[in-house]
Structure 1
Amino acid sequence: MIQDRAAGAIMGALIGDALGLGCHWYYDLDDLHRDYGPWITGYTTPKPDRYHGGMSAGQLSQAGLIFVMLLRSVVEQEDYQEDDFTRRMDQELFPQLNGTPAFGPGGYTNQSIRETYRRRVEQNKPWSETGGHADTTEAAERTIVLAALYAKHPLKLAQSVSSNCILTQCDEAIVAMTTAYNCVLSQLVNGEKLSPSISDTLMKLVHKGELPFHAVTKRNFEGPRPGDPDPPRAGRFSSPDALLTPHYAALAAIDEGIKIEPAWKVSLVYGMPCAIYHQLPAAYYLAARFSDDFESAVLHALNGGGQNMSRAMLTGALVGAQVGLSGIPKRFIDELENGQELMQLAKKVGELALR
């Protein structure tokens, strides 16, 4: 059911975030294995001298806390009201920041949020001018809530996600990739699997004007012929290529001639850094390869090191949507701080998604 899959996407993201808290940002895998062993199987406590030192296993990072801020806003408003979300950022988050990285709730403040803080608080800019140029996944992560909420309404989903993204990240390419990821996720909430055909489904929505991407190709990506008119733009994004990435990642996952073994080494194939163009292909690959196995998907995302928190969060949402809340092993919810309360919020979004 869509309720179960929407709740699964939300809880999958939160679990992924918390899994990455302890073992976050180890780019030297020997150091990761020294501190946590050869295979991490659950939540871990950060070492005192690491990014989230002082926090405990099962807690959320700042990205997770902002995610919950948006989640609570949607549940209380029974819709996405951007003014309510930004009010919470102004009143609940920014007073706890000082514009530096190693400060604030969650133990670390990401670049996009630091830049937004400086524009909003130090420079007193309106929210229409707060977005910076970070090429990371923070916006893609928190707007998972909106992908679950508006899964049945693709245009509203794309408009809401891109609008929320611009609050903190205004680069057009990053907004397009952020929106595309959540369009993919929404299709999984609707019952699709992350297979190569997912991009065909999305491109049909583009050609129907239900997703704001421009495309000149025809069926099977056939190019225009001489004399064909330039089609009207379906929306703000100049290229649909961000919608095609999951097609190729899923092809790699099922192609017997392509071997990534063990699967956590996908982080070495697509890159360990934070940028969204490293993160999304790895998340799509793992979500296609382990479409019915939440635990394997998030643990391979986690054990790949580098920016494993975002990788696990993005993968967790994609696979959580495919297996549903009912398909997520109970231990991940039981050992997550405030797991039962968060699960109830996730279920409420699932109910709202029926509208």
Structure 2
Amino acid sequence: MTSSATKMSRQGAIWGSFIGNALAMPVHWYYNPDDIKQGYNGWLSGYVAPNQRHPTSILSISAAGSAGRSTFKGQSEKPVIGSVILHDKLKYWQSNDRTVHYHQGMAPGDNTLNSRLAAQTARLLSEADPSKSEDDLVTDVMTRYVEFMTTPGSHNDTYAESADREFFRDWQLAGSPKSPKDIMEFVEKRIKRLNSNKLDHNIDCIGALVTSTPVILHYAGHTEDVAAKNAVRIVRATHCSKSLDPYVELYARSLHAVVNGAKLKDVAESALSSNLLGGASILKRAEKFAKEAAGYTAGSEDRLRVYQDAISTFGMACYIDGSLPSMFFLAREFHDDFEGGVLTNANCGGENAHRGAILGSLLGAESGRAGRQIPQRFIDGLHSSKEDILAVLDNWNSNI
């Protein structure tokens, strides 16, 4: 594969990741897809702002100081929301209103916090001195993570995932280290401590993969092993979960392969038939859904209903063992249709925002590999992360 083709595939991957996330943001965690159609006067076809009310929100019963949900009303740990991170958002977490949207007040084309963190990582890596060691780059990424998360006004999201809440609970208990050296000492001690512990089940989620995308793209010109190793390392720094490692590695190897010339359909089929995701029976199930969908007109609601059923079957929620098969099913089905893929993902509901970020990176990489353009309206409509992406692309171009 020529360097020009690799360049186009890498550019497609980074645009696709942020597009897939932003399209799904307003209907993130809609577990009844019909609520999407009813709440937005039809199925989503582009960027929109989130409604103020969310039909299946559990934000107000989520733990503001650790993973998962609050223990019970009136007795919980000291919140990190409002004091350490998400500085003006605690009122939404403590509201008595069970319909508060996870991404309250965001604009059309805005990205969720996970993708905003990915934008920070992408920009930092694109600006890095090529002679910097892998260790130094990890230190830089984690230092930027702490700075970004603890700086008021750095982003406009309302929600932070369980792993972020637990990280900053522990960070605060450790004395809120801020220097690069002290941050990495904290990170390494925390990894060693938590490696032997049973972690909250909310940690192993597809959202963990989002910040690995810029790492994989940074190492696109290195071997697949190098890209996978560094992707696993950066996720482990925040999530501290050994059980996530094989899923991060599978995604890293898949994206690296497509950026370097492999066909996405082949890569998706390989992933779906892997032992990690359930073996040959999962691919057969995907093929069955694909055959059923092909019986209806492309873009029709009848076909969309088949895809919604498929995602419900493989896994709508955030948990990685279901969400990753769902993502690879959509990647296989829409390997040659970027627009159809990212919009179908959004309209399937569930954990579609971070599933969309991962799916979008693969579909975007395939579009670049095959010489297809991502629709300009999706690029033009991106909002909160667009400046960062353009800066990354400028840096990549200047380094070629």
TM-score of Structure 1 vs Structure 2, range by shorter chain: 0.7 to 0.9
1:276 CA displacement: 1.2
1:194 CA displacement: 2.4
1:38 CA displacement: 3.3
Q: Which runs of 5+ in 1 are unaligned?
A: 98-102, 203-220, 222-239
Distance 1:199 1:294, change over 3 A: closer
Q: Which runs of 5+ in 2 are unaligned?
A: 53-99, 176-184, 294-302
Distance 1:117 1:34, change over 3 A: same
Instruction: Give the match for residue 213 of structure 1.
Output: none
Instruction: Give the match for residue 4 of structure 1.
Output: 8
Code of the aligned partner of 2:210: E
- Whether contact under 8 Å (1:6, 1:321) holds in the other structure is yes
Code of the aligned partner of 2:259: V
Which TM-score applies when normalising by structure 2?
A: 0.70
Distance 1:197 1:65, change over 3 A: closer
Which TM-score applies when normalising by structure 1?
A: 0.78
Instruction: Give the match for residue 61 of structure 2.
Output: none
2:140 matches 1:136: no
RMSD: 3.0
- Whether contact under 8 Å (2:269, 2:283) holds in the other structure is no
Instruction: Give the match for residue 73 of structure 1.
Output: 124
- Structure 2 residue matching 1:143: 3-state secondary structure: helix
2:115 matches 1:59: no
2:219 matches 1:150: yes
Instruction: Give the match for residue 210 of structure 1.
Output: none
1:348 CA displacement: 4.7
Identify the range of structure 1 (151-160 vs 75-84) with the bigger mean alpha-carbon deviation: 75-84
Identify the range of structure 1 (30-39 vs 182-191) with the bigger mean alpha-carbon deviation: 30-39
2:381 matches 1:330: no
2:275 matches 1:241: yes
1:250 CA displacement: 5.8
Pairs within 5 Å for 1:211-226: none
- Structure 2 residue matching 1:344: 3-state secondary structure: helix
Instruction: Give the match for residue 311 of structure 1.
Output: 355
- Structure 1 residue matching 2:238: 3-state secondary structure: coil
Q: For residues 331 and 51 of structure 2, what CA distance do their matches in structure 1 show?
A: 29
Instruction: Give the match for residue 289 of structure 1.
Output: 333
How many aligned residue pairs are there? 311
Distance 1:62 1:254, change over 3 A: same
For residue 179 of structure 1, the aligned residue among 231, 244, 249 is: 249
Code of the aligned partner of 1:172: K
Q: For residues 142 and 156 of structure 1, what CA distance do their matches in structure 2 show?
A: 16
Distance 1:306 1:338, change over 3 A: closer
- Whether contact under 8 Å (1:196, 1:246) holds in the other structure is no
1:91 CA displacement: 1.8
- Structure 1 residue matching 2:109: 3-state secondary structure: coil
Q: For residues 101 and 248 of structure 2, what CA distance do their matches in structure 1 show?
A: 28
Instruction: Give the match for residue 211 of structure 1.
Output: none
For residue 47 of structure 2, the aligned residue among 32, 43, 48 is: 43
Q: For residues 249 and 173 of structure 1, what CA distance do their matches in structure 2 show?
A: 20
Identify the range of structure 1 (320-329 vs 179-188) with the bigger mean alpha-carbon deviation: 320-329
Q: Any idea what the Cα deviations from partners look like across 1:123-163, whole Å, max 9, x if unmatched? A: 34701144563011233111111222222421211221111
For residue 259 of structure 1, the aligned residue among 279, 284, 292 is: 292
Pairs within 5 Å for 1:89-238: 89-96=145-152, 105-124=156-175, 126-130=186-190, 133=199, 134-152=203-221, 153-196=223-266
Q: For residues 109 and 197 of structure 1, what CA distance do their matches in structure 2 show?
A: 31
For residue 324 of structure 2, the aligned residue among 277, 280, 289 is: 280
Q: Any idea what the Cα deviations from partners look like across 1:187-215, whole Å, max 9, x if unmatched? A: 01111112346676x9xxxxxxxxxxxxx
Q: For residues 327 and 167 of structure 1, what CA distance do their matches in structure 2 show?
A: 35
- Structure 2 residue matching 1:195: 3-state secondary structure: helix
Distance 1:257 1:320, change over 3 A: closer
Q: For residues 333 and 197 of structure 1, what CA distance do their matches in structure 2 show?
A: 26
Q: For residues 256 and 40 of structure 1, what CA distance do their matches in structure 2 show?
A: 22
Identify the range of structure 1 (86-95 vs 118-127) with the bigger mean alpha-carbon deviation: 118-127
Distance 1:82 1:269, change over 3 A: same
Q: For residues 175 and 82 of structure 1, what CA distance do their matches in structure 2 show?
A: 17
Q: For residues 310 and 289 of structure 2, what CA distance do their matches in structure 1 show?
A: 16
Distance 1:2 1:330, change over 3 A: same
Q: For residues 340 and 168 of structure 1, what CA distance do their matches in structure 2 show?
A: 25
Identity of aligned residues (%): 26
Code of the aligned partner of 1:341: E
Q: For residues 340 and 95 of structure 1, what CA distance do their matches in structure 2 show?
A: 20
Distance 1:51 1:149, change over 3 A: same
Distance 1:55 1:4, change over 3 A: same
- Structure 1 residue matching 2:292: 3-state secondary structure: coil
1:280 CA displacement: 0.9
- Structure 2 residue matching 1:119: 3-state secondary structure: helix
Distance 1:40 1:314, change over 3 A: same
Distance 1:287 1:93, change over 3 A: same
